[in-house]
Structure 1
Amino acid sequence: MTVIEQLSALDTILAQGGVHSLFQPIVSLSQQQILGFEALSRGPSNSPLHSPINLFAVARQAGRLNELEVMCRETACRRFSEQRLDGKLFLNVSPESLVEPLHENGRTLQLLQRYGISPNQVVIELTEQTPTDDFQLLFNALHHYRAMGFSIALDDLGAGYSSLRLWSELRPDYVKIDRHFIDGIHQDALKREFVGSILQIAKASRAQVIAEGIELEEELLVLIEMGVDLVQGYLLCRPQEQPPRDARGLIPRLEGSHPPLSEDGNHLAALIIEQAAVQRDTSTRQVLEAFRLQADLNTLAVVDDEGRPCGIVHRHALSDALFEPFAAGLFARKPISRVMSSDFLAVDIKQSLQQVSRLLTGRARQRIEEDFVIIQGGRYLGLGRLIDVLRLITEPA
């Protein structure tokens, strides 16, 4: 297709309003609810610019990107309103269109008022395809959106020209991990480290992480193990003109998952790992010996004289600490209270799985081997595993 033919096709689309919107759900695993929908634009099905990649590339080259994006936002808002979709509406906006001189302030707010959508339902999702040099102008534009009640999301984190700087300076409410780092994450330790770092930074910046582009159950399982709660991708649901409204039918049954939730509300009881705790005055040498004798033991809880948890010891953390110069000789005979971690999660057996899941996924980086403590009346009962909780959460009712 020649350049002239591409420009002619773009002219027709813009003149006739020839774009249509698809919606892809963004699902909260812990709450089994749809957080919202990302609006994705397509050209006419019989057009060479049907693909969004081609459509937006030609508009950018023709200097008509802002015009096209305004049309896409108008179509998305209208269809979102017509279907009375619940949750948030994620609207893609390129930074370059925000800083264009022709960009009209308040245009999006007018669209929302026309279609009865509240600004606090809308998330402006920045999609970075070209370098953004004028950070101050971009910051001012997004501050303007925030002042009107919009939330901000940073799309394709790790793929853009300056996404980490954007994150640092714009402090988005949501960050979406680029598909590249999700693809095959179950087979790539480096990708898992990258995602783990994102989760740490997200906690510090109070941003929520969305993993997008999930296509395999193995990818989803690893993300669940790492504490990712908000997910999006073909595995759950492809973009559709009329998307589903119930998340429960979208979450796949993961292999090895537990039976469906019982009706008595006391689901943690079935997950207890009856692992004896150690007293706080137990020697570090004895704890090391316990780990050596039980190859599958990853965590030990530490309790005080009344059986109340006061710390936790993870196999990997204890090993790393004792590898330090002179550490083994210095701490081997010392009580485990000297090297235990006080950063642990204790949950009462009466808490619901949803409550426990929110507590777990709210932690910066809950490693799969770092179990949590289950208590009753403040006293230690046993340990629980993050993956067991999230498998039950994702089990269809």
Structure 2
Amino acid sequence: MAKGALEGVKVIEFGHFLLVPTATAILADWGADVIKIENFKAGGDPVRFPQAIEGQAPPADIKPSMWFHYFNRNKRGIGLNVMTDRGREVLYKLVEKADVFATNFDPRAIEKARVDYETLRRINPGLVYCQCSGYGTAGPDRNKPGFDYAAWWARSGMMDRISAPNEALRPQRPGLGDNLSSPGIAGAIAAALFCREKTGVAQKVEINLYHMAVWGLMFDIGTALHQGVNLKQTDRKTVTNALWNCYQCKDGKWVMLVMPQTDRYWPSFCKAIGKPEWEKDERFDSHTKRMEQNMTLIATLDEIIGAKDAAEWETIAQEYDLVLGRIQTPLEVASDPQAWENDFFTELEYAPGVRFKTVNSPVKFSETPASVRTLAPELGQHTEEVLLELGYSWDDLGALKSEGAIM
């Protein structure tokens, strides 16, 4: 197998839940040697066992959840109690030989564990230190816990903006903010490594969920900054551009039209829906008029599009070079030939005769391919292996275990 782009880069992950573990999984896909530190006294990363998140102790025979494998593949794992002097000594030895240290524990936990930036840079001046948080490392909320539901979805305005007017707010998809932020974290770490390679200077990288969501909501936040108003919210019955809207088909499936430049698409669109006379219809013959007649147009398109199945509309859209996307369920995505043809997914052996499917790295390198090589480690699976690489003897390992520093 060809080497990954980050082959030879050693990453220490001092993280939990999703934000940093997902980012370091990307680095591991790209070839980095990621060593995941888990507090074995607490049962490890809570995502190992969703029952533990809900306050239930996991039975001994339950394997780590599929979610844990998704976000921790390709890593090595060690069980380490960094709240002991000897455990912290092990961590510092890891840092001496590392290129990157990444954490998403809150600042108080970082200080308590003595793994803050200033401490670790004294141990290794060449270390790229990545600190991820909910709301940033300054300001009154710097110590506030920040899962993506609170920091990314709620605080940023994201949850407000994706809801239709007068619609009751509802919880959104778990981990979406973490997952969408993680490529930015991985890219920032890679940029800092590139800078170190060119200049010899390492640095601290900071990313928070709140800011990442604000960046993603740039249209709305930019309007608020410059015009002092919120962009108008609409539902599908009142959206101003009828050609930028979703419609239900005869078979119950939905399609999304995405044609913001309506003048460009209008002649072909009229032919595609069997209404060539609309091209010159004085009600609809300009973008401005179509916006003025939006509700009439939407109601008519509901009838027209509702008369054919989604697959028929996909064929018609392709014939007339129109932008139309079928709205799929996750189950449909999992069997989509387009996704499989482009290597969206891969399989690993989970147990004899049992295959584990997961999502591939979305980034493709022509010469240094990303890859999913192993499942997530068992709790403490590589503790001995990693410590022996650091120069510890078997007698040392026995002493560390007896002291409760390692598992």
Normalising by structure 1, we get a TM-score of 0.26
Q: Which has the higher contact order (CA 8 A, sep 6+)?
A: 2
Q: Which has the higher strand share?
A: 1
